[in-house]
Amino acid sequence: MQVLPSISLRPFIRHYLFIENPARTPIRFFSDGNPGIVFCNGEIILEGQCLPPAFAYGQISHYKDLYYTGSLLIVVFRPYGLYALTGIPAAELKDRFIDLSLIFKQPPTRENVNEFFSSLQQHTCSLTRATVDYIDQQKGQLSLAQLQDFTGYQERQLERRFKESVGISPAKYCNIVRTHTFLKSLKKDEKITPLVFENGYCDQSHAIKDFKKLTGLTPRHYLHNNYPLASNFLSRNCTI
């Protein structure tokens, strides 16, 4: 179940995601371009290690398999949202899962998360916000030259700003958005070739390569063996 944050937080937080599961379940976790904070009333195991009951994660370079039981509350930030609300450079959180007690003196709880983030000072990143919105509107189908024209910044300047507030390059974010748009358009028993071109790929092999690099699955495997819980959480039922 998804719940919107308060109006003042919507520029920074996409939604709160609630997932309930009483049995131990394997899930595939992969990048959707958004950092997050997870509150787990139960257990999450990643690569044989138990994660803290409340932790933050940044941009994810590679898909991961984890197991969880109990209930999850996931605060799904906009790509720049965690940086804008905490001031923590996004690059420092990349590929990390950090106990909230190491980030905040008095960390939020699942009961007061909306009030907690509403009370924080907001750091402005208007250029990054506008660029992210533009990429989202264009479904990731943008060239670097188009982004430079939109922002007025040269490649290095734009990449430096993006990595500070988002944690990845604008080109990488475009690729993630386009792949997720392709993923969400897939339907069982329908040909994927028309969707490949609708999503700006030059051929089917390119689309499949990007999809598998992001998720570790082929589109066919995704459709027939997995059920999406959220844009970056899949129940896993396979040997890949």
Q: Where are the domains of the chain?
A: 2-118, 126-224
- Give me the pLDDT at residue 240, please: 34
1-39 tens-digit pLDDT: 889 999 999 999 999 999 887 778 778 889 999 999 999
Overall pTM surpassing 0.85 (yes/no): yes
Cβ atoms within 10 Å, residue 125 = 22
C-beta separation of 234 from 228 below 8 A: yes
173-193 tens-digit pLDDT: 999 999 999 998 988 878 889
123-157 tens-digit pLDDT: 777 889 999 999 999 999 999 999 999 999 999 99
Across 157-175, b (16+ Cβ under 10 Å) vs e yields: ebbebbbbbbbbbbbbbbb
Mean pLDDT score, 199-221: 91
Measure the CA–CA gap between 123 and 84, rounded to whole angstroms: 5
Token pair of 111 as six digits? 């009961």
Q: How is 166-180 classified by DSSP, letter by letter?
A: TSS-HHHHHHHHHHH
Residue written as tokens 């009370």? 119
57-106 tens-digit pLDDT: 999 999 988 888 899 999 999 999 999 999 999 999 999 999 999 999 99
Measure the CA–CA gap between 3 and 57, rounded to whole angstroms: 20
What is the CATH architecture of 126-224? Orthogonal Bundle (1.10)
Residue written as tokens 């609300």? 85
What is the CATH architecture of 2-118? Sandwich (2.60)
Angle between helices 155-165 and 170-185 (to 10 degrees): 70
102-118 tens-digit pLDDT: 999 999 999 999 999 99
Helix, strand or coil, per DSSP, at residue 64: strand
Measure the CA–CA gap between 238 and 240, rounded to whole angstroms: 6
Helix, strand or coil, per DSSP, at residue 148: helix
